[in-house]
Every structure is written in structure tokens, then in C-alpha cells.
């Protein structure tokens, strides 16, 4: 087609190779017993010119880059100090949602015997790294209800009024600091449990605050600080114990608070037994009683390591096929940082080499990453049925993203493509235009007339890997992006929540 003749040959070859291999990855024989149809949706993508004219015959690639179902993992800053970039690369191989392991906890950010200012620097390092990699973050945790070790030393001797004031300050400081960066918060951990696995009628936070309704108060105050983040309430023994007491107590506590949180967090410490006939009915019981999705959080296990690949696959398939489950988050996935020496749930060993369990996790996940493409039809459209989640659209050297959310009917997506050399987003058409210069390239960005929030400049390789993300002036201005002289880079101006406003490319000068 004529519109491809003048494209740079290296970009065309890349797209051609991708298009030739775009296809659904067939499920293995183990998938035959599972129904994933509720995780899919029909989608129709139309490519149009800036004036709205459909563009037929456009070669387009479409790939799922993050499932709506959450595949998450714990992450710790200390591991970057000892394993360096290898640790980060391993994390990105397996997960697209992260849970900082300790760096956000109340007792960790206020390690002082007397009241002090919270130190979020360790958490900030992880958040900044994850934000650059476009990894969603689940904040862990705002409060722990289990024992005094989970609160700062200086708060342990406070009277009830002073302790509740300290809790208020914790909510405002932590949630305010990470607002807009943390998509979900583990609001209260171990809401039922006390010391040594006990199930007290009144927990530590209730006792120290003197407020029997402290859980409701936490949820209300947290919502005042962050009206967008989803709230998770975590506890253990909800799906892993043969004793139903913890699950029933969890349900009793949270039923009257149902409107104030979104996600049931069932910690998946499976020990030596992880059988679907045992845990799946318990998952369904929690979901049906509270009317909310269950997420398996902090998953680990300690059975024979030779069983680990088959068992992790069974867990993944069971949860992905179950409409009551919204995600799985691994706790002990890196052998160097396991909380117990008997755990066999690690995906990489002590030398950061992948284990058969980690390989199986990757392979099963790949089955649920829709990849498709081809040429648009006479009306500029291409249709497919794909797994729900975030997609990337690639046309020549330009790409954009869209979300295929759960829902009824076919999702319609419009991609505005300027064949003369610009990718244009008209979602904010008719509003003020600001001019941002990137390496001398003019990037006109349309915004609401009173828009004054931070914008960001992100750069990507041609394969779609994010390379950098930094703030830019929403009033316009000039910016310079360094890049190797032997390739081109894609850049994008976007909002804080990653809405793309302008996409273009920087070509090396030869």
C-alpha cells in the first residue's frame, strides 16, 4: 500500500515480523478442563486519519501487555542492593503488579523510639522504579492488627486518644505521600488474628485506640485521603486451613463494612498441602458471603519441589477459570529472600537462575496473553476476541494503548493515525493546545482549559519496552532526550495516570 512506502525500512521490517507471528498461543492439554471464556471479550479496532477518515489496508499489531486478572509478586529494595538489575529483570519476567514487601509498613518508615517524621525513601526507590516500568503497585500495608511488632515503638505506650491520633497521621502521611501512584492498598492486615495465631474478640488496634469500631473508622478516613485506590483487607487461614473459624470471623467482621472495601485478601500460605478441592470451595464461600472478588495474596508453599510446577499450574488455572478470583500475588518467589527455609515456591534460585516452577508460571501466563494483527479492512477495522486487560497497538514505528475491560458486547476502539509522521490522540479534542518540544520535535498536546496537573514524557524502544519516564511542564517548553545514535526511539506525552496525549518518534541522525 502507498502509505507504507515511505516508512523507514527498519520499522517496517520489525512490524512485518511481528505481524507474521501474531496469533493466539494455543493452550496446553491441561487447559482443556478449564473455562476461561469469562476472561475474554470481543474487540473492534478502527484506524482513522486525524480527520476521522477510515484507513483501509493498514498493517497493525495488537498485543496484550497486562491482564485484567492480576499476576503480582512481592518486591524488596534490599534485593536490588545484592542482586542488582538481575533481580529487577527476574521480577519483570513474572509479574505486572508489585507489592513492596516491608518498605511501606508503619513500623518500617518510623523506626524510632520517640516520635519522628516518616522516612519513605526506601519505598520511594521501589515506587519510582516500578512507575518507570509501568507496573501497578499495591501498597502494603497501612495497618497490621496482629501484634505490637507491627506498629512503631514510640506508639506502643500511648494512651487511646494519642494512639488514634497517631493512626490518623499515619493514614494522611502514607496515603497522601503515595496518592496517584498506589492503585490499591492493603488497608488492614490480619484483621482477625492476634498473637500466636489467636482469634481474639477485640484486636490490637481496637484495644490501643479504645474504639470498638476502629476498622470502620480506618476505612472512612482512608477514603477521605484517597478516593480512587481500591482497598484490600487481608488475613490468613481463610482458604488454607481445615478450620473454618478464621473465615467465619472474617465474614462477621466485614459484612457490615462491605461497602467500604473492594477486595478480599486471602493470604495463600499453603504449607505442604495445596489442593484445589480444598481451597476452591473456601474461595467461593468467601466471595459469595461478602459479594466481592478474592485475591490470593502472599502465596507460598512447602511441598516437595518436584511437585511445584504442576501445583503452581493447577493453582493458576483454577483461579483464572474462577470468576470469584481477581488475582494471584506470589510472596516467596526468590529463594534468597524466603521467609522460611522449607519453602519451595521460588521461581529463581539463590543464583537467580530460573526454576522449573518459574518456567511453568511464565508458560501458563503466556497462554493468556492475546497477540494478533493483520491489515485493516475496507472500513479501517480489525476485529479479534482477546483476554481482558491492557493492550498495545503497533503501527509502523508508532504505538498506543487501550484497555479491554470486562463487560458485555464488543468493545470499540478508535486509533487515530497520521500517516505523515505523527500518532495523534483526539480524546481531548476541542480544548486548549500546548506546544512541547522534544529534541526539537513539536508535540502539540490538547488539554482541558483549566488543566494544571503534572504531565510526563515517556520513552520506549521499538519493541515497546519503557526506557524512561520524567515530568514535563504542563505549560509547554523544550526537553532533550538522550538516546543511542544507531536507532530510533518512540516518545509519548502522557498524564499522571498514563493517558497518552501525543506519540511520536526520535530518529537517529546519520
Q: How confident is the model at residue 271 (pLDDT cuts 50, 70, 90)?
A: confident
pLDDT-based confidence at residue 386 (cuts at 50, 70, 90): very high
Confidence band of 448 (pLDDT split at 50, 70, 90) = low
Length of the chain: 510
347 in Cβ contact with 355 (< 8 Å): yes
Q: Residues 25-81: pLDDT tens digits? A: 444 445 678 999 999 999 999 999 988 999 999 999 999 999 999 999 999 999 999
Whether residues 47 and 111 fall in one domain = no
Specify the pLDDT at position 431: 56
Q: Are residues 410 and 460 in the same domain?
A: no
In a domain, residue 353? The reply is no
CA distance 50 to 71: 36
CATH number reported for the structural domain that contains residue 431 in this entry: 2.60.40
Of 381, 405, 423, the last residue of a domain is 423
- Please indicate, yes or no, if residue 184 is contained in any of the structural domains: yes
Mean pLDDT for all residues in the chain: 88
With CA atoms as reference, report the closest residue to 11 among 369, 380, 399, 390: 399
DSSP string, 181-210: T-SEEEEEESSS--GGG---SS-HHHHHHT
- Is residue 137 domain-shared with residue 262, that is, in the same domain? yes
String of DSSP letters for 130-144: HHHTT-EEEE--SEE
Q: pLDDT-derived band of residue 463, with 50, 70 and 90 as boundaries? A: low
**What average pLDDT does range 8-29 have in this prediction?**
43
For CA atoms 7, 10, 11, 13, give the dihedral sign. positive
The CA distance from 203 to 201, in Å, is 7
Identify the residue with better confidence: 144 or 11. 144
CATH of the domain at 195: 3.20.20.80
pLDDT tens per residue, range 329-366: 999 899 999 988 899 999 999 999 999 999 999 999 99
Q: Minimal CA–CA distance to 188: which of 147, 141, 226, 258? A: 141
Percentage with pLDDT > 70 across the chain: 87
From 305, 331, 357, the end of a domain falls on: 331
Residues 6 or more apart from 176 whose CB is under 8 A from it?
225
**Opening angle at CA 229, ends 223 and 233, nearest 5:** 80
Q: Based on the fold, state whether residues 263 and 229 are members of the same structural domain.
A: yes
pLDDT, one tens digit per residue, over 112-157 is: 999 999 999 999 999 999 988 889 999 999 999 999 999 999 999 9
Element (H, E) at 490: strand 489-495
Lookup: cell for 220: 472512612
Segment 277-302, tens digit of pLDDT = 999 999 999 999 999 999 999 999 99
CB atoms within 10 A of CB 54: 16
Residue ending a domain, among 423, 438, 454, is 423
Domain count, the chain: 3
Question: What's the grid cell of residue 339?
Answer: 521467609
What gap in Å lies between CA 119 and CA 115, rounded to an integer? 12
**Predicted TM-score of the model (pTM):** 0.80
* Residues 88 and 26 occupy one common structural domain: no
Is the same domain home to 159 and 304? yes
> What CA–CA distance (Å, rounded) separates 43 from 51?
23
What is the domain range of residue 416? 1-65+368-423
| 377 contacts: CB under 8 Å, gap ≥ 6 | 56
User: CA 92, CA 130: separation in Å to the nearest integer?
Assistant: 10
Q: Tell me, rounded to whole angstroms, the distance of Cα 297 from its chain centroid.
A: 13
| 85 within 8 A of 392, measured Cβ to Cβ | no
The residues with which 325 forms a beta bridge, in sequence order, are 294
Radius of gyration of the chain (CA): 24
- Check whether residue 85 and residue 230 sit in a common domain: yes
Residues 60 and 80 in one domain: no
- Give CA–CA dist 342/254, Å, rounded: 33
Same domain, 435 and 507: yes
Model confidence at 495, pLDDT cuts 50, 70, 90, reads: confident
313 lies in some domain: yes
**Residue 334's beta-bridge partner residues?**
348
* pLDDT at residue number 380: 97
> Residue 20's pLDDT band (boundaries 50, 70, 90)?
very low
Q: Tell me, what CATH number does 376's domain have?
A: 2.60.40.10
The C-alpha cell of 204 is what?
Answer: 490490637
Residues 430 and 417 in one domain: no
Task: Tell me how far apart the 2 most distant CA atoms of the chain are, in Å.
Answer: 76
Amino acid at each position: 500500500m502507498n502509505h507504507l512506502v515511505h516508512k523507514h525500512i527498519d520499522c517496517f521490517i520489525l512490524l512485518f515480523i511481528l505481524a507474521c507471528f501474531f496469533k493466539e498461543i494455543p493452550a496446553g492439554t491441561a487447559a482443556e478442563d478449564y473455562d476461561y471464556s469469562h476472561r475474554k471479550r470481543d474487540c473492534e479496532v478502527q484506524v482513522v486519519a486525524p480527520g476521522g477518515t477510515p484507513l483501509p489496508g493498514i498493517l497493525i499489531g495488537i498485543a496484550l501487555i497486562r491482564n485484567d486478572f492480576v499476576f503480582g509478586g512481592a518486591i524488596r529494595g534490599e534485593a536490588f542492593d545484592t542482586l542488582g538489575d538481575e533481580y529487577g529483570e527476574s521480577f519483570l519476567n513474572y509479574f505486572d503488579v508489585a507489592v513492596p514487601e516491608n518498605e511501606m509498613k508503619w513500623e518500617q518508615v518510623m523506626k524510632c523510639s520517640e516520635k519522628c517524621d516518616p522516612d519513605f525513601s526506601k519505598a520511594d526507590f521501589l515506587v519510582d522504579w516500578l512507575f518507570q516500568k509501568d507496573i501497578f503497585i499495591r501498597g502494603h500495608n497501612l495497618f497490621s492488627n496482629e501484634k505490637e511488632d507491627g506498629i512503631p515503638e514510640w506508639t506502643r505506650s500511648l494512651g487511646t486518644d494519642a494512639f488514634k491520633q497517631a493512626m490518623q497521621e499515619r493514614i494522611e502521611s502514607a496515603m497522601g505521600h503515595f496518592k496517584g501512584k498506589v492503585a490499591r492498598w492493603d488497608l488492614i492486615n490480619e484483621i482477625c488474628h492476634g498473637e500466636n495465631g489467636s482469634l481474639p474478640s477485640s484486636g490490637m488496634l481496637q484495644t490501643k485506640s479504645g474504639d470498638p469500631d476502629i476498622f470502620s473508622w480506618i476505612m472512612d478516613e482512608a477514603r477521605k485521603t484517597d478516593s480512587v485506590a481500591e482497598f484490600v483487607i487481608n488475613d490468613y487461614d481463610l482458604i488454607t486451613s481445615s478450620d473454618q473459624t478464621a473465615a467465619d470471623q472474617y465474614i462477621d467482621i466485614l459484612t457490615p463494612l462491605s461497602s467500604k472495601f473492594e477486595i478480599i485478601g486471602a493470604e495463600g500460605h499453603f504449607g505442604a498441602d495445596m489442593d484445589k478441592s480444598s481451597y476452591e470451595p473456601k474461595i467461593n464461600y468467601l466471595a459469595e458471603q461478602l459479594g466481592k472478588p478474592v485475591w490470593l495474596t502472599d502465596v507460598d508453599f512447602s511441598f516437595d519441589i518436584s511437585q511445584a510446577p504442576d501445583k503452581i499450574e493447577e493453582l493458576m488455572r483454577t483461579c483464572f477459570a474462577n470468576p470469584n478470583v481477581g488475582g494471584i500475588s506470589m510472596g516467596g518467589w526468590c529463594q534468597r529472600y524466603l521467609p522460611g527455609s522449607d519453602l519451595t515456591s521460588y521461581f529463581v534460585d539463590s543464583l537467580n537462575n530460573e526454576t522449573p516452577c518459574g518456567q511453568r508460571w511464565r508458560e501458563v501466563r503466556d497462554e493468556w496473553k492475546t497477540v494478533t494483527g493483520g491489515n485493516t479492512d475496507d472500513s479501517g477495522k480489525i476485529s479479534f476476541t482477546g483476554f481482558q486487560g491492557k493492550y498495545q497497538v503497533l503501527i509502523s514505528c508508532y504505538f498506543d494503548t487501550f484497555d479491554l475491560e470486562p463487560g458485555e458486547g464488543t468493545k470499540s476502539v478508535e486509533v487515530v493515525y497520521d500517516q505523515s509522521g505523527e500518532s495523534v490522540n483526539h480524546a481531548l479534542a476541542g480544548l486548549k493546545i500546548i506546544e512541547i518540544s522534544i529534541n526539537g520535535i513539536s508535540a502539540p498536546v490538547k488539554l482541558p482549559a483549566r488543566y494544571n496537573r503534572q504531565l510526563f514524557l515517556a520513552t520506549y524502544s521499538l519493541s515497546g519496552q519503557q526506557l524512561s519516564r520524567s515530568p514535563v511542564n504542563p505549560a509547554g517548553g523544550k526537553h532533550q532526550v538522550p538516546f543511542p545514535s544507531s536507532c530510533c526511539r518512540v516518545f509519548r506525552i502522557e498524564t499522571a495516570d498514563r493517558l497518552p496525549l501525543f506519540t511520536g518518534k526520535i530518529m537517529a541522525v546519520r
